Amino acid sequence: MTQLQDVKGGTRAPLTPWKKKKKKEEVFPGVRSLNGRWGHLFVAPFMIMFLIFGLAPVIYSVYISFFRWDPLGGSEFSGLRNFSLLLADSDFWLAIRNTFSIWALSTFPQMLMAIGLAVILRNTRLKGKSFWRTILLVPNITSVIAITIVFGQLFGRDFGIINGILDFFGLNRHIDFIEGVIPSHIAIATMITWRWVGYNTLIFLASMLAIPDELFESASVDGATKWQQFRFVTLPQLKNTITFVLIVGTIGGLQVFAEPQQLAADGGSSKQFLTLTLFLYNQAFVNNKYGYAAAIGIMITFIVLIISTINFFITRKISNDGTR
Amino acid sequence: MKTKTPRWRKTSPLSYFLLATITFLSIFPFYWMFVVSSNTNAEISKSPPSLIPGGRFLIVAKKVMSAEGVFFSNALLNTFIVGIAIALAQVMFSAVAGFAFAKLNFRGRKSFILFVVGTMMLPSQLGIIPLFMLVKNLRLIDSLLGLIVPALVTAFGVFWMRQIIDAQIPNELLEAASIDGASVPRIFISIVLPIIRQSSFVLGLFAFLAAWNDYLWPTIILQSPRHFTLQVALTQLKPMYGLDYALQMGGAFLATAPLLILFIFVGRRLVSGVMDGAVKG
Which of A 106-125 lie inside 8 A of B, CB atoms? 116-117, 120-121, 123-125
Domain ranges of chain B: 71-250
- CA B79 vs. chain centroid, Å, equals 12
Is A301's CB within 8 Å of B123's CB? yes
pLDDT of residue A27: 60
DSSP state of B11: -
pLDDT range class, residue A217, cuts 50, 70, 90: confident
What ipTM was predicted for this assembly? Answer: 0.88
CB atoms A47 and B15 under 8 Å: no
Q: Which chain B residue lies closest to A236 (C-alpha atoms)?
A: B281
Taking residue A33's Cβ as centre, other Cβ atoms within 10 Å add up to 12
Find the range with the poorest average confidence among A10-19, A78-87, A236-245, B249-258.
Answer: A10-19
| CB pairs < 8 Å spanning A and B | 331
Q: What rounded mean pLDDT belongs to chain B? A: 88
How do residues A218-269 score in pLDDT, each as one tens digit?
888 888 888 888 888 888 888 888 888 888 888 889 999 999 999 988 999 9
Angle at A237 between CA A235 and CA A243, to 5 degrees: 85
Q: Which residue of B has its CA nearest to A216?
A: B8
Cα–Cα separations (whole angstroms), residue A146 to A8, A158, A192, B100, B212: 52, 21, 12, 39, 12
Letter string b/e over residues B134-157, b meaning 16 or more CB atoms within 10 A of that residue's CB: bbeeeebbbbbebbbbbbbbbbbb
The 3-state secondary structure of chain A reads: CHHHHHHHCCCCCCCCHHHHHHHHCCCCCCCCCCCCCHHHHHHHHHHHHHHHHHHHHHHHHHHHCCEEECCCCCEEECCCHHHHHHHCCHHHHHHHHHHHHHHHHHHHHHHHHHHHHHHHHHCCCCCCHHHHHHHHHHHHHCCHHHHHHHHHHHCCCCCCHHHHHHHHCCCCCCCCCCCCHHHHHHHHHHHHHHHHHHHHHHHHHHHHHCCCHHHHHHHHHCCCCHHHHHHHHHHHHCHHHHHHHHHHHHHHHCCCCHHHHHHCCCCCCCCCCCCHHHHHHHHHHHCCCHHHHHHHHHHHHHHHHHHHHHHHHHHHHHHHHHHC
Burial profile B35-47: b = 16 or more Cβ within 10 angstroms, e = fewer:
bbbbbeeebbeee
The amino acid at B110 = K
**List of chain B residues with pLDDT < 50:** 1-3, 239, 281
User: Among residues of chain A, what percentage have pLDDT more than 90?
Assistant: 50
Is B215–A257 a contact, with Cβ atoms under 8 angstroms apart?
yes
Closest CB to B220 among A25, A53, A285: A285
Backbone φ, ψ for residue A76 (5° rounding): -145, 130
Give the separation between CA A106 and CA A129, rounded to whole angstroms: 26
Contact list in A for residue B125 (CB cut-off 8 A) is: 255, 277, 280, 297, 300
Provide the 3-class DSSP secondary structure of residue B276: helix
Using CB atoms, pick whichever of A47, A137, A150 lies closest to residue B33: A150
Give the tens place of pLDDT for each residue, A126-160. 889 899 999 999 999 988 899 998 998 888 877 78
Mean pLDDT calculated for residue range A20-32: 58
- Rounded to 5 degrees, φ, ψ at A75 are -125, 155
The residue of chain B nearest to residue A160, with distances taken between CA atoms, is: B45
Fold of B71-250: MetI-like fold (1.10.3720)
Interface residue of A61, A75, A110, A142 to substitute, partner B, most B CBs within 10 Å: A142
B197, B215 Cβ separation under 8 angstroms: no
Rounded Cα distance, B238 and B226, in Å: 17
List of chain A residues whose C-beta atoms are within 8 Å of the C-beta of residue B166: 29
Q: Cβ contact (<8 Å) for B129 and A47?
A: no
What residues in B contact A305, CB-CB < 8 Å?
Answer: 121
Residues 102-121 on B with a CB inside 8 Å of A are: 102-107, 109-112, 116, 119, 121
B39: left (phi over 0), alpha (psi -120 to 50) or beta: beta
For residue range B31-79, list pLDDT tens digits in order. Answer: 999 998 888 777 777 767 778 888 888 888 888 888 877 889 999 999 9
Chain B residue with the nearest C-alpha to that of A155: B29
Q: Which of A97-111, A185-199, B109-123 has the lowest mean pLDDT?
A: B109-123
Distance between B199 CA and the closest CA of chain A, angstroms: 17
Contact (Cβ atoms closer than 8 angstroms) between residue B112 and residue A50: no
**Any idea which architecture A88-323 has in CATH?**
Orthogonal Bundle (1.10)
Rounded to a whole number of angstroms, the distance from the CA of B202 to the nearest CA of chain A is 13
For residue A89, CA distances in Å to A286, B44, B248 come to 17, 43, 36
Contact across the interface for B252 and A53, Cβ inside 8 Å: no
CA distances from B74 to A60, B60, B67, B71 (A): 35, 18, 12, 5
Average pLDDT, chain A: 85
